[in-house]
């Protein structure tokens, strides 16, 4: 675990507070963390420990209250929303607990969506998407709509979508939260396989220790602070 | 990474969303299409009707422009006419005069109206003559055509000889129908002679009273015939100085029909606007529902890197596509509607309505539809774009709130455009203003009522503790309504406005149709009697009863001169001291007035100020017509003195009446009570319906025999053509009204069945909490029935107030309101229940 | 000749109503007009549109002009205009009671042209005129009858029969006879309205001047 890798993202004394009426809630508290490029990392912790908030801050969906997040040495805090959106569409892949596939799009269309958002021609995008789906064993499900797929299949489609545009980092928020243990295993296997071939940084937020154990690095959060780092 | 610039393929994305929701997109587009189709074809349709009526008017005048004078044409006129001929204008001369004719067999000569025509007559329309191959013989000379009436009345056969002046003419045909008739020419039977023949009669000499006319037709290469006719008349007015010359162009004839046309056109445009507004409401509410369902997709897209401006661009593109489809469908509907209207008009009313689809209109329709769709959804889209993706991701956001500012801007611009459009098509700032204002009023009023109803429900809900089956269903049904207040309000608003607009449409159409409706044939007068003396009434009545299918009352007409207003003399000053304006007013004051007396008003009269007297009133009171009173600057309590052939009569103005001049009953400016004027010298006028040439001839003969002073006017032909024109209009009016109503209902049904996704979620939840399929259905029943009932109450209130408002402002009076809107109220109660339960039937089954 | 039709009434009046009205009322009778004393003898002019001064104000009609002419010569006679446009002999018969309800010096009767325009049998016209004269004479009132003519387009036969009525009746009842009301006016473009049969203001002046001389010569008015 001591192998030196270049740092992709660096969080320096990041704090995130929410205002809820009169009360101010500190969700992430003076947290510093390095995410090395090409490594897999799990962020674990009980509900409300700030895991998802941390993920959203990394994705640029939310902004820090204090501290800095450096992306290869550049502070995200200086970026405009437009640049953050561009960062997401070019370099970030998302995997959600509830899959978040677009119901009215087929599996193939869902997967080619990030490419199309990047301006890729539809047939090229779909060609690439097809490859990915094949890799995940979904070649017979290309024209199915999310509603016609099982949970495991949906999450595999979501994984394909996350990797479609070759992002630098994949952010997975409880990727197995909605799946039974057997399917969960299957999906994680798929995820790690595909991550390995692409050598992508993978950050998984989970409270499932068996999932966390599969990662190269595990960070545990309690009340917005790192309680354990291994 | 930031150097990799890329543009998201929003077009492709939008088209994919569009395609995947094509059913609903089609519905959104249809909402718009119907209105656009209506609006754009109605303009085309109105143009056709207008042209049709103009054509009819032209046939009635038999020319584009006529010049007429009781004096011989001056050299100046002749040279102008010669110049026109050179330029390709057609001209046809006629002479018309009264004379006495005597058939060889008859003992006494009788009055005829002679018309001398050239071979080119008529320039428009047709002469119907039996036998129809009369022309060659006729223009050879020594011949005449006689009116059918004359033939019947004096038993004249073809080949008989008639003495007219110094000529003996052979009757070679009977005139069944001739263009160019006017009231002036209809009171004595017609004889037509060739123009070349008339001089030989010796009747045209110094001091003869001859109306000389020249009919003119514009050269056929001038496309816009109405414009050409107007310009020709203008030109002649400039060129010719003869003050005795009368000029008429067909574009000005038929003022009654034209007034009706103007009102009906306005109505047509309002109807199509209502349809359009209904469509916009339907579309905007259902698109908003659709957007609610798109929130998750939007959250995902934001995570995938779309910015908020991308989102608004994406959904505006979607609206653009909807608009494009709507416009295209609208044009398609327009074309279908035009052709249907053409077929209906031709089959049912035998009216040829030409259909012309112009590329200009097509483009305008497309543009308009896109503009409307973008405009109507702009507020929703811009609010959608502002939604924070995190809120969606965390499941915090199930609905979004439309920004008030964006909504305000949209509505203001929308109203402005609406006002401008109404103004442009009705040509009346008053109508445009009140249409717009009443729309705003209705929206605000219904919003208020909706909020009030929801509040009342909330109070009820708090008190409702029953846990019985219906108690449970009521509680949940109402809770559904109150929980999603914003959605409920939009929904209510769409439903109430839609049905209210339909109701009002029905009310307006009903009163308009009645206002211009033409009597049934049996009660439609075709014969008018003028100058009946009081002593002749009973005898005339007796003769009338033998012939008439129905008859109207006798209206007395008393000639008088106005002498004083409020005790001040109106006698003329030295005319040289007066300005032109004063002179005109002076003439108006000092001419002979026609007074009448009666104690009851016609259906076409409404008192606008003061109070009309009771039956049997004996004080000298006066009721004035509104515009007449305005012109004289008179109001209630002013006095007017009249000189009725030597006797003075002073009366006080106690009532001002407005008269619907379109109605065909005799109307007068000045009315006194019966007892006051009954003894005054008077002549009476009346009308009767006979509708039978033979009967008319014998009626005329009998009347002439006993009361030769009475003028009998056979206006059958002229009234028939006026009636026909009005029938065209009413036919079109009804058709458009029905189409609009049907479309409105369809849109409402579509709106009702929206929002299935949320309903499905809710049913799932309820079922997972253990409620039965029966009770989920009952809950929905409560919700839909409450919507229906509340809507019905609001619609009833709104329709009443709106029809009252219209009656006040636009002069469209509606009676028996309840009876007319009852079907709509029933529809608004049952529609939501039936449509709601029906459209969700699969959900109930699915979740079982 | 004119016909009071419902439609032409509405239509014409709608049109005329659209003209703007001016706000001030004209002041009282101008000083240039002379006023007759209230108790002067009354002369009734009984007739149709020619007497009623069709389309003109009453002050432009020949009866009022005559009154003015007499006043200038210090003859105070009150003139009552009982002309009604479109009236016929039948109409006059039915309104005699109304117009004869006053103490009348003499009646100037100029009626019949509308009967002629309507092509009524001349015998019937003649009978009506006779009845009118009998009625007036029964009230011990003097009658002056005016002759009427029809335009030549009515044909020689009818017009000559028509014209012959008036001198014949005048002779029969021994009343003063004025041969033709429109003498030197009929047929003259500059003295008639555009309809060609109703005198304009100048036409009425001519009628008045002719009548003034006639009344003087006949010794009816000094």
- Say which residues have a Cβ less than 8 Å from residue C181's Cβ, sequence separation at least 6: C47, C50, C110, C146, C147, C148, C207
Q: What is the pLDDT of residues B668-706, one digit of tens each?
A: 889 999 999 888 888 898 888 888 878 888 888 888 888
Element (H, E) at A153: helix A151-163
Q: For this structure, is C115 an active site residue?
A: no
Residue range B265-316, pLDDT digits in tens: 777 777 777 777 778 877 887 888 888 888 888 888 888 888 888 999 999 9
Q: Does A118 score more than 90 pLDDT?
A: no
Per-residue pLDDT at B816: 61
Chain-chain contact of B6 with A92 (C-beta, under 8 angstroms): no
The rounded distance, in Å, linking the Cα atoms of C44 and C139 is 13
Nearest CA in chain C to B246: C194
B442: left (phi over 0), alpha (psi -120 to 50) or beta: alpha
Cα–Cα distance measured from residue B587 to residue B581, given in angstroms and rounded to the nearest whole number: 10
Cα gap C36→C29, rounded to integer Å: 13
| ipTM computed for the complex | 0.90
Strands (E), B362-521: none
Greater confidence (B845 vs A58) lies with A58
* Cα(C141)–Cα(C133) distance, integer angstroms: 9
Q: Least CA distance to A125: which residue of chain B?
A: B9
Secondary structure (3-state) at B59: helix
Distance (Å, whole) CA B40 – CA B539: 58
Are the C-beta atoms of residues B524 and B724 closer than 8 Å to each other?
Answer: no
Give the pLDDT confidence score for residue B71 in this predicted structure. Answer: 85
| Interface contact flag, B304 A61, Cβ < 8 Å | no
Alpha carbon distance C49, B145 (integer Å) = 33
pLDDT at B589: 81
pLDDT score, position A157 = 93
Looking at residue C11, its pLDDT comes to 29
CB B67 within 8 A of CB B214: yes
Q: Which of C85, C87, C113, C198 is catalytic?
A: C198
Among candidates B188, B154, B532, B703, which has minimal Cα distance to C154?
A: B188
As a whole number, mean pLDDT of residues A31-37 equals: 88
Of the candidates B9, B16, B390, which has its C-beta nearest A56's C-beta? B390
Q: Do B393 and A62 touch (CB under 8 A)?
A: no
Taking CA atoms, A182 is separated from A135, A151, B229, B276, in Å, by 20, 12, 90, 57
Both tokens of B272, joined, read 């199509």
Active-site residue, C195 included: yes
Looking at beta carbons, which residues of chain B come within 8 Å of C17? 627-628, 631
Distance CA B311, CA B301 (A): 8
For B679-772, where are the alpha helices, taking DSSP H only? 693-706, 716-752, 756-768
Q: Does B705 touch chain C (CB under 8 A)?
A: no
Give the total residue count for chain B. 848
Rounded to a whole number of angstroms, the distance from the CA of B300 to the nearest CA of chain A is 6
Nearest chain B residue to A173 by CA distance is: B393
Q: How far apart are CA B33 and CA B282, in angstroms?
A: 12
* B64, two tokens: 């584009």
Residues in Cβ contact with C119 at an 8 Å cutoff, skipping those fewer than 6 apart: B98, B100, B109, B110, B111, B188, C154, C158
Residues of chain B with pLDDT under 70: 1-6, 180-187, 253-260, 263-264, 345, 348-353, 395-399, 425, 486-487, 505, 508-523, 572-578, 660-665, 717-758, 802-803, 805-818, 846-848
pLDDT tens per residue, range B112-160 = 989 999 988 888 888 889 888 888 889 988 899 998 878 888 888 999 9
Number of Cβ pairs closer than 8 Å across B and C?
Answer: 225
Q: B44: exposed, middle or buried (C-beta count within 10 Å: 0-12, 13-18, 19+)?
A: buried
The reply to whether C140 touches chain B by the CB within 8 Å rule is no
Unique residue bearing structure tokens 């769709």? B373
Task: Determine contact, residues A17/A24, Cβ cutoff 8 Å.
Answer: yes
Q: Is any Cβ of chain C less than 8 angstroms from the Cβ of B72?
A: no
Please tell me whether the peptide bond between B697 and the residue prior to it is cis, using omega within 30 degrees of 0.
no
Count of pairs with CB atoms under 8 A, one residue in A, one in B: 86
* The two structure tokens encoding residue B260: 């009706």
Where does the pLDDT of residue C2 fall: very low under 50, low under 70, confident under 90, or very high at 90 and above?
very low
pLDDT of B724 reads 67
- Selecting from C56, C88, C153 the residue whose C-beta is nearest the C-beta of B709 gives C88
CB-nearest to B13 from A82, A85, A116 is: A116
Tokens matching residue B298: 């939007």
- Specify the pLDDT at position B779: 82
Instruction: Give the CA dihedral B40, B46, B48, B49, nearest 10 degrees.
Output: 160
Any C CB within 8 A of B565 CB:
yes
Q: Which residue of C has its CA nearest to B567?
A: C28
Looking at residues C121-148, what average pLDDT do you find? 93
What region does B533 belong to: left with phi over 0, alpha with psi -120 to 50, or beta?
A: beta
Tell me the residue length of chain C: 222
Is residue B539 within 8 Å of residue B706, measured between CB atoms?
yes
Q: What is the pLDDT of residues C148-207, one digit of tens each?
A: 999 999 999 899 999 999 999 999 999 999 999 999 998 888 899 888 889 999 999 999
B104's tokens: 């060889």
Classify residue C199 by its DSSP letter. B
- pLDDT value, residue C163: 95
pLDDT at B1: 40
Q: In this predicted model, which residue has the larger pLDDT, C32 or B761?
A: B761
Q: State how far the Cα of A207 lies from the Cα of A188, in Å rounded to an integer.
A: 14
**Cis ω for the linkage preceding B743 (within 30 of 0):** no
The SS3 of residue B267 is helix
- Whether residue A82 and residue B307 make contact (CB cut-off 8 A), yes or no, is yes
Using DSSP's 3-state secondary structure scheme, residue B339 falls into: helix
Other beta carbons within 10 Å of A138: 22
Q: Secondary structure of chain B: what % helix, strand, coil (to 5)?
A: 60, 15, 25
pLDDT of residue C9: 31
Please name every residue paired with B561 in a beta bridge, in sequence order, or none if there are none: B592, B643
A26 in contact with B, Cβ within 8 Å: no
| C12 and chain B in contact, CB less than 8 A | no
Does the annotation mark C103 as catalytic? Answer: no
| CA-angle at B269, arms to B264 and B272, nearest 5° | 125
Residue with tokens 């330029």: B87
CB-CB neighbors (< 8 A) of B17 in chain A: 104
Confidence at residue B743, expressed as pLDDT on a 0 to 100 scale: 66
Of residues B531, B533, B556, B530, the one with CA closest to residue B687 = B530
| Residue B5 to residues A85, A129, A187, B562, Cα–Cα distance (Å) | 12, 22, 33, 90
- CA torsion B433-B434-B437-B440 (nearest 10°) is -130
Taking the C-alpha atoms of residue A40 and residue A215, their distance in angstroms, rounded to an integer, is: 5
Tell me how far apart the alpha carbons of residues B97 and B207 are, in angstroms, rounded to a whole number: 12
State whether C4 and B530 contact (CB < 8 Å).
Answer: yes
Chains C and A touch each other (3 or more Cβ pairs < 8 A): no
Q: How far apart are CA B839 and CA B845, in angstroms?
A: 12
């Amino acid at each position: 675990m001591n192998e030196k890798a270049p740092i992709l993202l660096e969080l320096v004394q990041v704090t995130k507070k929410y205002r809820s009426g009169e009360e101010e809630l500190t969700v992430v508290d003076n947290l510093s963390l390095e995410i090395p490029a090409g490594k897999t990392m799990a962020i674990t912790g009980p509900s409300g420990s700030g895991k998802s908030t941390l993920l959203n801050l990394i994705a640029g969906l939310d902004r820090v209250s204090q501290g800095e997040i450096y992306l290869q040495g550049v502070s995200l805090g200086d970026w405009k929303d437009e640049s953050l959106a561009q960062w997401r569409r070019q370099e970030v892949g998302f995997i959600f607990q509830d899959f978040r596939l677009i119901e009215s799009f087929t599996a193939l269309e869902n997967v080619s969506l990030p490419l199309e958002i990047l301006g890729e021609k539809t047939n090229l995008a779909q060609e690439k998407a097809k490859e990915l789906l094949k890799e995940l064993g979904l070649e017979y499900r290309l024209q199915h709509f999310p509603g016609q797929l099982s949970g495991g299949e949906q999450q595999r489609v979501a994984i394909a979508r996350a990797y479609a545009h070759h992002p630098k980092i994949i952010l997975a928020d409880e990727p197995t939260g909605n799946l039974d243990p057997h399917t969960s295993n299957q999906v994680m296997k798929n995820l790690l396989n595909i991550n390995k071939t692409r050598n992508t940084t993978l950050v998984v937020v989970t409270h499932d220790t068996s999932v966390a154990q599969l990662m190269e690095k595990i960070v545990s959060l309690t009340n917005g602070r790192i309680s354990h780092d291994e | 990474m930031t150097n990799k610039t890329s543009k998201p393929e929003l077009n492709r994305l939008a088209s994919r969303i569009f395609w995947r929701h094509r059913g609903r997109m089609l519905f959104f587009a249809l909402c718009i299409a119907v209105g656009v189709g209506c609006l754009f074809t109605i303009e085309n349709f109105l143009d056709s009707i207008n042209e049709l009526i103009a054509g009819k008017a032209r046939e009635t005048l038999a020319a584009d422009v006529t010049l007429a004078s009781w004096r011989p044409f001056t050299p100046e006129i002749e040279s102008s006419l010669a110049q026109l001929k050179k330029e390709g204008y057609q001209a046809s001369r006629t002479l018309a005069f009264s004379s006495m004719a005597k058939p060889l067999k008859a003992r006494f000569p009788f009055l005829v109206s002679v018309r001398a025509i050239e071979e080119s007559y008529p320039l428009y329309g047709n002469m119907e003559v039996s036998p129809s191959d009369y022309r060659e013989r006729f223009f050879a000379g020594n011949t005449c055509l006689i009116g059918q009436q004359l033939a019947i009345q004096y038993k004249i056969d073809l080949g008989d000889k008639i003495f007219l002046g110094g000529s003996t003419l052979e009757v070679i045909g009977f005139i069944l129908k001739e263009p160019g008739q006017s009231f002036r020419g209809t009171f004595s039977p017609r004889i037509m002679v060739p123009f070349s023949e008339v001089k030989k009669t010796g009747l045209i000499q110094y001091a003869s009273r001859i109306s000389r006319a020249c009919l003119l037709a514009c050269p056929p290469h001038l496309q816009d015939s109405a414009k050409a006719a107007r310009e020709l008349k203008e030109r002649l007015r400039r060129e010719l100085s003869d003050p005795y010359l009368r000029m008429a162009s067909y574009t000005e004839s038929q003022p009654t029909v034209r007034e009706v046309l103007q009102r009906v056109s306005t109505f047509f445009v309002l109807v199509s606007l209502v349809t359009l507004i209904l469509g916009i409401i339907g579309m905007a509410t259902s698109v908003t529902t659709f957007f609610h369902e798109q929130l998750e997709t939007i959250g995902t897209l934001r995570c995938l890197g779309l910015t908020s401006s991308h989102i608004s661009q994406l959904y505006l593109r979607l609206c653009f596509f909807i608009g494009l489809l709507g416009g295209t469908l609208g044009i398609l509907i327009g074309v279908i509607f035009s052709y249907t209207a053409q077929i209906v008009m031709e089959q049912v009313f035998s009216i040829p309505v030409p259909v012309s689809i112009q590329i200009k209109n097509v483009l305008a329709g497309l543009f308009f539809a896109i503009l409307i769709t973008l405009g109507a959804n702009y507020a929703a889209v811009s609010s959608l774009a502002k939604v924070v993706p995190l809120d969606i991701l965390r499941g915090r956001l199930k609905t979004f709130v439309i920004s008030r500012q964006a909504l305000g801007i949209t509505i203001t611009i929308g109203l402005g455009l609406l006002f401008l459009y109404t103004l442009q098509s009705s040509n009346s700032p008053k109508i445009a203003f009140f249409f717009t204002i009443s729309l705003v009023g209705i929206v605000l009023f219904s919003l208020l009522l909706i909020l009030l109803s929801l509040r009342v429900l909330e109070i009820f809900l708090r008190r409702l503790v029953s846990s019985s089956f219906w108690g449970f269903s009521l509680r949940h049904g109402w809770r559904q309504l109150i929980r999603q207040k914003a959605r409920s309000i939009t929904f209510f608003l769409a439903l109430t406005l839609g049905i209210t607009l339909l109701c009002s449409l029905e009310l307006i159409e009903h009163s308009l149709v009645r206002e211009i409706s033409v009597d049934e044939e049996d009660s439609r007068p075709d014969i008018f009697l003028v100058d009946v003396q009081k002593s002749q009434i009973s005898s005339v009545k007796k003769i009338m009863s033998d012939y008439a299918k129905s008859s109207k009352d006798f209206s007395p007409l008393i000639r008088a001169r106005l002498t004083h207003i409020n005790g001040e003399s109106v006698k003329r000053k030295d005319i040289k001291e007066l300005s032109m304006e004063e002179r005109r007013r002076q003439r108006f004051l000092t001419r002979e007035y026609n007074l009448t007396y009666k104690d009851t008003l016609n259906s076409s009269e409404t008192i606008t100020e003061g109070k009309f007297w009771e039956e049997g009133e004996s004080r000298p009171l006066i009721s004035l017509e509104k515009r007449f009173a305005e012109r004289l600057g008179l109001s209630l309590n002013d006095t007017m003195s009249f000189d009725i052939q030597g006797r003075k009569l002073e009366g006080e103005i106690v009532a001002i009446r407005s008269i619907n001049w379109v109605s065909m009953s005799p109307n007068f400016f000045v009315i006194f009570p019966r007892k006051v004027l009954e003894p005054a010298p008077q002549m009476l006028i009346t009308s009767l319906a006979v509708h039978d040439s033979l009967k008319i001839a014998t009626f005329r003969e009998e009347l002439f025999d006993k009361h030769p002073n009475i003028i009998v006017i056979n206006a059958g032909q002229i009234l028939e053509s006026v009636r026909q024109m009005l029938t065209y209009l009413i036919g079109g009016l009804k058709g458009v009204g029905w189409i609009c109503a049907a479309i409105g209902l369809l849109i409402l049904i579509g709106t009702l069945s929206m929002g299935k996704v949320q309903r499905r979620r809710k049913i799932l939840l309820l079922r997972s909490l253990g409620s039965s399929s029966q009770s989920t259905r009952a809950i929905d029943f409560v919700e839909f029935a409450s919507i229906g009932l509340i809507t019905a109450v609001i619609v009833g209130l709104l329709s009443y107030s709106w029809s009252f408002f219209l009656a006040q402002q636009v002069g469209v009076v509606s009676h028996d309101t309840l009876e007319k809107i009852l079907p709509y109220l029933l529809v608004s109660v049952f529609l939501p229940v039936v449509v709601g339960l029906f459209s969700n039937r699969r959900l109930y089954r699915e979740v079982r | 000749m004119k016909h009071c039709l419902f439609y032409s009434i509405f239509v014409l009046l709608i049109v005329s109503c659209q003209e703007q009205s001016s706000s001030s009322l004209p002041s009282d009778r101008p000083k240039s007009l002379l006023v007759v004393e209230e108790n002067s003898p009354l002369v009734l002019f009984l007739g149709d549109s020619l007497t009623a001064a069709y389309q003109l104000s009453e002050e432009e009609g020949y009866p009022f002009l005559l009154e003015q002419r007499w006043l200038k010569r210090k003859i105070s006679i009150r003139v009552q205009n009982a002309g009604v446009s479109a009236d016929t002999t039948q109409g006059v018969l039915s309104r005699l009671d109304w117009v004869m309800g006053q103490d009348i010096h003499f009646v100037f009767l100029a009626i019949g042209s509308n009967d002629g325009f309507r092509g009524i049998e001349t015998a019937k016209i003649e009978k009506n005129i006779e009845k009118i004269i009998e009625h007036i004479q029964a009230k011990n009132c003097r009658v002056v009858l005016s002759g009427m003519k029809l335009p030549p387009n009515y044909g020689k036969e009818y017009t000559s029969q028509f014209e012959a009525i008036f001198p014949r009746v005048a002779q029969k009842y021994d009343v003063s006879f004025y041969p033709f009301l429109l003498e030197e006016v009929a047929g003259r473009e500059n003295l008639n309205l555009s309809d060609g049969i109703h005198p304009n203001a100048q036409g009425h002046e001519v009628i008045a001047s002719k009548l003034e001389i006639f009344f003087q010569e006949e010794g009816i008015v000094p």
